[in-house]
Amino acid sequence: MNQKEQESAMQEMNKMQQDLQARKQGIDNELYNYNSKMKEDILTRIQDFLKEYNADGRYSYIFSYEPGFMFYKDSTLNITTDVISGLNQKYSASKK
Count of structural domains within the chain: 1
Residue 88 or residue 83, greater confidence: 88
The residue among 76 and 37 whose pLDDT is bigger is 37
pTM over 0.85: no
Residue type, 70: M
**Residue 76 pLDDT:** 74
Condensed to tens digits (0 to 9), the pLDDT of residues 9-65 reads 999 999 999 999 999 999 999 999 999 999 888 888 888 888 888 888 888 877 776
Range of the domain at 60: 3-95
The pLDDT value given to residue 31: 97
